[in-house]
Amino acid sequence: MKSKSAQKVKLTSYDDLFGTSEAQSGETVTSVPVSQLHPFKGHPFRVADDEKMQETVESVKQHGVLVPGIVRTRPEGGYEVISGHRRRRACELAGIMEMPVIIRELDDDAATVIMVDANIQREDVLPSEKAKAYKMKYEAMKHQGSKGDKFTADTVGEAAGDSGRTVQRYIRLAELVEELLDYVDAKKIPMVAGEILSYLKPEEQRWLVDAVQNSGIFPSKAQAEKLKESSRMGELTEGMVYAALVRKEGGNGGVTISAKKIHSYFPPAYTKSQIEEVIYSLLEEWKQNYGEEEREDAENTV
């Protein structure tokens, strides 16, 4: 008897190479020029020319496309790929001019559900891809008349074995600006922190992107919660975003300012010693001109 792990490896390899689309009873497989196959509008999944793609290309050269793609006709001509984007790209790289497909008449919502389900079970799906895909499927199923938010969220995650709560968390991630979503993909911002940061307004998220790029510091879950609460209260400012990142948790820690940010205020010819001398002189002047109470107030506006 084969082990479960062996079965999983075999299934993953097959899916990566050939896809998982199945023809329904009575459907006809048709060969269509690759040049007439166009990506699904808003397709959230990467089609990267990586090592796995090269494996697919070699297989297509030897055996052809074993499982047909699923497409629908486009009003402007040609076909929109619903399932089979990687197979289409493999054919293109292999120099194969036609690809077998099943042509279905589908509305936007039905096509979206099939497109997401055909890709969501892959092992290498990024959080950003899953977030955008689940949002697309969620909205499509609501248009189709599913019964309530929780029912829809649970149904959305069935294909990948995700709970409704997990689906809702991924959908929240889709509200992040692209730069923050990229940090989640790169594991520089934890997913749980990303979900919390998704509640910030777009402008506030842009402040955070600038702060991260200038400081090199990525927000923790605790820092994300503080930013979210300040935003909810309508009190969040760009300075507070910077302060939240550079302030150490649980006490009066040190402050980190990026060298790139500092150098932008000085002529290129200034040495490190000269820059430090100017900074310390300005701090000393500030200290003499402001009392302790004023400095504490100023700290809250940094």
Do 100 and 17 fall into the same domain?
A: yes
Q: At 55, which CATH number?
A: 3.90.1530.10
Quick one: pLDDT at residue 279?
80
Q: Is 132 exposed, middle or buried (0-12, 13-18, 19+ CB in 10 A)?
A: buried
Q: Are residues 256 and 216 in the same domain?
A: yes
For the record, the structure tokens of 144 come out as 């189709």
* Residues 57-116 pLDDT 10s: 999 999 999 999 999 999 999 999 999 999 999 999 999 999 999 999 999 999 999 999
Number of domains in the chain: 4
Say yes or no: 31 and 107 in one domain: yes
- Give the separation between CA 203 and CA 209, rounded to whole angstroms: 10
The range of the structural domain enclosing residue 292 comes to 265-302
Instruction: Look at residue 176 in the predicted model and tell me its pLDDT.
Output: 97
Q: What is the pLDDT of residues 169-219, one digit of tens each?
A: 999 999 999 999 999 999 999 999 999 999 999 999 999 999 999 888 999
| pLDDT greater at residue 136 or residue 148 | 136
Together in a domain, 161 and 203: no
For residues 270 and 280, give the distance between their C-alpha atoms in angstroms, rounded to a whole number. 15
Strand partners, 103: 71
Do 100 and 136 reside in the same domain of the chain?
no
Write the pLDDT tens digit of every residue in 29-64: 999 999 999 999 999 999 999 999 999 999 999 999
Question: Is pLDDT at 280 greater than 80 in this prediction?
Answer: no
